[in-house]
Structure 1
């Protein structure tokens, strides 16, 4: 039976006395080595056949803790075979895949598609030795010279098919040296026999063969069969990669999961069966769908990768990432938090070129530095950021010092920075009304154990400066949009944000957030309160998706002009004049639905929304030509999307009395990286 499935109701952790633990650990590890040797050398070892099925996920993991971006999903179905003499063979019955975003075609290493049947050999290899090799197994002979062992806790497992509770010890394994390839993690051993019940581990940085590997994590779960045989049940192998010389806001992750089931302990195979290749593969798409128990996309939510993924799964993934040992990447690297930190164009700075560096002295702490120069403004800018994340809880903190940082207007980003750069250079139309900020900002946050509730406290103290004469370069001619004049002055504020999410597995998710900020501007106090609710739903195969969002906000007291709320045009109310409406209160409701017609290449979209701005401000009417909407304005339209919906072209009609507006945009998940 799959004993690890019932751990939540059938386990208890027992702290071990220090003196007893040392002797007990030594005896248990030696017992495990003897059991491992007998199982591998006995001439009449256990023979079996079993079925297995799994998924391989290739995705982008965001370093800011945001939702991952799935790129490709593969599914494998296979049979496992073991002879009485210990020979092993695996036959892959089915392979299929689906690209979710444009990605270069590639083949996986075979151990991404197959099972670890023997708990690894004496030398652990991952990725056929191209990811990790030369790592001594902690239960192999000679392990005492390389590792330190200690019993961390114990687990008692019981179930309807178990006569007596089974005691399993978690043995923590740490290398004596960090400068050689080594195992770092835990082995779970049955107290009575020393049999291996689970492995959960990563590696020292010296273990990584591929320079791109920042972390490799392996988890093998075994289950007890016929009361005495611990055999493979589940496995996860995750490889996280980054460019060694360049620290970007995302990393690529390959996560291979496999479930082994339906054991047969009286298998019948041909006489020459084990003389054939140890692994036999079929071509992608050859197998009938009947070969698979689950759908290709069915595991996305439980892995935290679906658009409506489980918040607790994502939180657990971030916790595991924080607990990993030092990365295999260099401690100091070139750094950019998005593409526009390297190059961008706008009418305040002209063409801007920048870059930076990062330093990660510890897995929980990192420093980030960015700097650049705007050739039109003649101004240099810089940002120094320190981040800390607890390795044992969800607590985190950030402190940021900035000088001449570029800022935009609320209530929401109107266009991705990279897209705005193209508009500015090619069409002469800058969608930003930028200003500069210099000062300090800090944030302390935490989330619930399940990850579905979060709390953050922020403070800021900054000096605002308006840009000078707007840049009129680019290829768009002389018809430039007039930039709104930001106010100069000193701003300080303290804010609190609370967020909550609810999820229905892979089919729906709702998130809500409320933020309240008390501020001071030019000697007078002010307050700002904003709230938002987002709902997403999708079919399991992601061919139909719906996204609805509602946002509200209000301001009180003294506020700088650029902190008020603006609407009109793309990003808020397309089909109406761009940022023609402004005030102290706003409400905005937006919705979109996407339906795939030709997978990868063509989807159709419907879009609609409505909003309003109230609370007249004299300075906005005089200096910004932005007045309240005097009622509700809306829009409706349709469009198409291509390249896995990464590029979107939507036509909008503003109502009442609006115009037609064509908007070209990118998937918001990708836009945040631009």
Structure 2
């Protein structure tokens, strides 16, 4: 009885809402030329008929809906989670009425939230990320919603002129009654790579044409300045001329969408789960976004289903009379619903609304209860029942990678100087250097890139040509180059940070040499975290001397000069390199472990030396552990421990030495204070963490030299204090070298620290 009263109240209080409009376009036969076989054509036609028909069979349903999401800021060392949320609601949906949503649980974290919670203006419901439940009759490809992005629908009339269709494996679903339901995979491939077309696979039940499962992605990344006419006109008019290349281009990529449906009690297709992965990018700022939704359907009423009185009449019995309740206002009805729900769950509920969008909700009177609800899902980086596992997501990526995409329209983009994020630099070899880059889209997913630099001090032109083939799984790059290179290619010595240090303060942390040759490299796809690299190469290396002595701090000191650059050996070298960077742990308040492993094997000889080449091998390893000591979440005490070691077997060129000194390896000392064919170092940090910032004390120790020449007395020690913002994203250190004559007081600002 209570359930009947509740359903009646929900039906009365809901307002008429928008539903998906019928697809009234005339049926057009799918072109045979667009399909790889008759099966694909028939399957597409059945799916198209089902898509055109507005499903009105479901009158109402209720479901427990769990949703979780995270937004990350990508950095070389690790991603920072800048937003996360977990939500659990119960939705009561009824056709031609507005859904009523009961808030069961809600948990979120982002910088500044704890401060907001302590303010009088904070309302938990304003943070609720849940919008609306699944709309039966809506577009099943987009989980019952309107398309979140304007794409050409693969089932719309005329879609055969935009897509090609093929068939794949068969999916067999086992139903509770023992029956089996078959769904056939329909592969969808865009004829031309375009950000408004998708590429993926749809599993279609062949008799009804119902969509059982879909996985897809955009066939090409959306670039606002290229693909949005209004933005393009503004750029051509000079509206963005003061936007630095660091913050351009602006791109969006929908890299994975997976939707699943279940045949509820053999009566209706209703949602089961959905996962979305996307990337937003503004120049060097890369924001991976992931979201998952899981539906537990609790009850369904079909449009032609008999009511209790009709069922009783068929059985020759008398049904219990329904209780009719009349309400004087919408608010009174919602309050009634809230009271009924509270009686059933032992929690006091009230009718309320969000100030942000005016959405009517039923929520606990004690708002804090939503954060500890037992029905909340774990964070999105933890596997749990109901959601896709990492193995399943990886299989989806591999499937999407096999579905070909048509050629991209040939384009060329040219940037130089201020317009590129890495086309201006300053160092003691080149002085100020200006670069230019041209990128070309080629057939079959290839991209060509040509770049060049000219240093004002050394007047030495540098050039690089890259041919890149990227997929969802990997990126392969063939390169030819004549360039200036740092001995530590991952330290960013040719980037903005070191360039500013060299120009303003006269602190150039790099050791440079020249290289010309060719290489072939395998890396993760462009949107993924840089977790590995393997390359083979053949190149000639030679020395590069200082060519400038200018820095702003020492502009009027005629006796000052940069420290001398490394005297590199002239060498012809060919070899292979492997770099791995695994990471364990994503929760910013929990333990985290990350590591690096680097291996190089190479042959080299001097160009005019004759004789057999010299073989050498190198290996290094680093491991960093971040451990919570006290407190909870982003507030408390944490400790970071780091150790690293590297060595060389055989006789290697001078430019293959290991260098210690500076913020990355040994604070309190200038860069390259020690060098050798072997090294070891360690550091410890203790941080008092707050929501937005941390205060840190640290100590470093390190040694470098010949492998058999290590002595404890040769260790250098440094210590200091520092502060960081956004979990180490921005870091400022004050350090002092404690041993040796080279120890200094040093202030250093940098990005992407462990704490």
Regarding TM over 0.5, the answer is yes
Alignment of 1:402 onto 2:481: yes
Aligned to 1:519: 603
Q: Distance in 2 between matches of 1:283 and 1:293?
A: 27
Of residues 479, 496, 519, the one that matches 1:441 is 519
CA contact (8 A) 2:657 2:676 kept: yes
Q: Distance in 2 between matches of 1:56 and 1:446?
A: 23
Q: Distance in 2 between matches of 1:608 and 1:289?
A: 43
The 1:430/1:148 distance shift into structure 2, 3 A limit, reads closer
Q: Distance in 1 between matches of 2:719 and 2:100?
A: 55
SS of equivalent residue, structure 2 residue 487:
coil
CA contact (8 A) 1:487 1:560 kept: yes
Q: Distance in 1 between matches of 2:505 and 2:489?
A: 25
The 5-angstrom pairing of residues 328-407 of structure 1 reads 331-334=411-414, 341-362=422-443, 364-389=445-470, 394=473, 396-403=475-482, 405-407=483-485
For residues 55-109 of structure 1, what are the alpha-carbon distances to aligned partners after superposition, in whole Å with 9 as ceiling and x for unaligned? 34334568x9x865544335555443322x465636484877544699xxxxx9x
The 5-angstrom pairing of residues 255-274 of structure 1 reads 255-261=290-296, 263-265=298-300
Q: Distance in 1 between matches of 2:465 and 2:458?
A: 21
In the TM superposition, residue 461 of structure 1 has moved relative to its aligned partner by 0.9
Aligned to 2:270: 231
For residues 259-285 of structure 1, what are the alpha-carbon distances to aligned partners after superposition, in whole Å with 9 as ceiling and x for unaligned? 223533379999998999xx9855499
Alignment of 1:72 onto 2:163: no
Aligned to 1:624: none
Of residues 531, 534, 537, the one that matches 1:456 is 534
Structure 2: where are the runs of 5+ without partners? Answer: 1-34, 114-125, 229-249, 303-323, 335-351, 358-362
Aligned to 1:469: 547
In the TM superposition, residue 385 of structure 1 has moved relative to its aligned partner by 1.6
Aligned to 1:570: 663
Bigger Cα displacement from structure 2, 571-580 vs 114-123? 114-123
In the TM superposition, residue 179 of structure 1 has moved relative to its aligned partner by 7.8
Aligned to 2:152: 135
Q: Distance in 2 between matches of 1:298 and 1:669?
A: 24
Aligned to 2:621: 532
The 1:642/1:68 distance shift into structure 2, 3 A limit, reads closer
Q: Distance in 1 between matches of 2:99 and 2:80?
A: 35
SS of equivalent residue, structure 1 residue 420:
helix
The 1:498/1:430 distance shift into structure 2, 3 A limit, reads closer
Bigger Cα displacement from structure 2, 374-383 vs 333-342? 333-342
Aligned to 1:586: 679
CA contact (8 A) 1:464 1:490 kept: yes
SS of equivalent residue, structure 1 residue 341:
coil
Aligned to 2:506: 428
The 1:568/1:249 distance shift into structure 2, 3 A limit, reads closer
Aligned to 1:215: 253
Aligned to 1:623: none
Q: Distance in 2 between matches of 1:190 and 1:269?
A: 43
Q: Distance in 1 between matches of 2:711 and 2:402?
A: 47
Aligned to 1:186: 201
Aligned to 1:121: 139
The 1:651/1:473 distance shift into structure 2, 3 A limit, reads closer
TM-score computed with the length of structure 2 as normaliser: 0.67
The 5-angstrom pairing of residues 503-518 of structure 1 reads 503=584, 506=587, 507-518=591-602
CA contact (8 A) 2:67 2:130 kept: no
Q: Distance in 2 between matches of 1:287 and 1:608?
A: 44
SS of equivalent residue, structure 2 residue 500:
helix
SS of equivalent residue, structure 1 residue 132:
coil
CA contact (8 A) 2:626 2:641 kept: no
Q: Distance in 1 between matches of 2:530 and 2:461?
A: 40
Aligned to 2:235: none
CA contact (8 A) 2:449 2:465 kept: yes
Structure 1: where are the runs of 5+ without partners? Answer: 1-19, 103-107, 304-308, 619-626
Of residues 68, 80, 89, the one that matches 2:99 is 89
The 5-angstrom pairing of residues 478-489 of structure 1 reads 478=557, 479-487=560-568, 489=570
The 1:491/1:607 distance shift into structure 2, 3 A limit, reads farther
TM-score computed with the length of structure 1 as normaliser: 0.73
Aligned to 1:17: none
SS of equivalent residue, structure 2 residue 503:
helix
The 1:369/1:180 distance shift into structure 2, 3 A limit, reads closer
SS of equivalent residue, structure 1 residue 231:
strand
CA contact (8 A) 2:251 2:280 kept: yes
CA contact (8 A) 1:615 1:628 kept: no
Bigger Cα displacement from structure 2, 519-528 vs 31-40? 31-40
CA contact (8 A) 1:493 1:518 kept: yes
Q: Which has the higher strand share?
A: 1
Q: Distance in 2 between matches of 1:319 and 1:169?
A: 15
Q: Distance in 2 between matches of 1:536 and 1:323?
A: 40
For residues 520-553 of structure 1, what are the alpha-carbon distances to aligned partners after superposition, in whole Å with 9 as ceiling and x for unaligned? 1314514131121424446694556655443322
CA contact (8 A) 1:186 1:200 kept: yes
For residues 221-271 of structure 1, what are the alpha-carbon distances to aligned partners after superposition, in whole Å with 9 as ceiling and x for unaligned? 22333244321122234444456xxxx566544444322235333799999
The 1:36/1:312 distance shift into structure 2, 3 A limit, reads closer
Bigger Cα displacement from structure 2, 661-670 vs 456-465? 661-670
Of residues 166, 176, 188, the one that matches 1:150 is 166
Q: Distance in 1 between matches of 2:404 and 2:279?
A: 12
SS of equivalent residue, structure 1 residue 571:
coil
The 1:177/1:333 distance shift into structure 2, 3 A limit, reads closer
CA contact (8 A) 2:106 2:370 kept: no
Q: Distance in 2 between matches of 1:206 and 1:423?
A: 35
In the TM superposition, residue 341 of structure 1 has moved relative to its aligned partner by 2.6
SS of equivalent residue, structure 1 residue 424:
helix
Alignment of 1:198 onto 2:221: no
CA contact (8 A) 2:517 2:537 kept: no
SS of equivalent residue, structure 1 residue 290:
helix
Aligned to 1:6: none
Of residues 586, 610, 614, the one that matches 2:705 is 614
Alignment of 1:57 onto 2:64: no
Q: Distance in 2 between matches of 1:326 and 1:101?
A: 45
In the TM superposition, residue 423 of structure 1 has moved relative to its aligned partner by 2.0
SS of equivalent residue, structure 1 residue 135:
coil
CA contact (8 A) 1:21 1:150 kept: yes
Q: Distance in 2 between matches of 1:373 and 1:294?
A: 60
CA contact (8 A) 1:188 1:196 kept: yes
In the TM superposition, residue 310 of structure 1 has moved relative to its aligned partner by 7.6
SS of equivalent residue, structure 1 residue 41:
coil
CA contact (8 A) 1:90 1:114 kept: no
Q: Distance in 1 between matches of 2:159 and 2:547?
A: 69
Q: Distance in 2 between matches of 1:503 and 1:270?
A: 57
In the TM superposition, residue 375 of structure 1 has moved relative to its aligned partner by 1.6
For residues 129-168 of structure 1, what are the alpha-carbon distances to aligned partners after superposition, in whole Å with 9 as ceiling and x for unaligned? 7x63363461x67766765543311122347x45234322
Larger radius of gyration: 2
Number of equivalent positions: 614
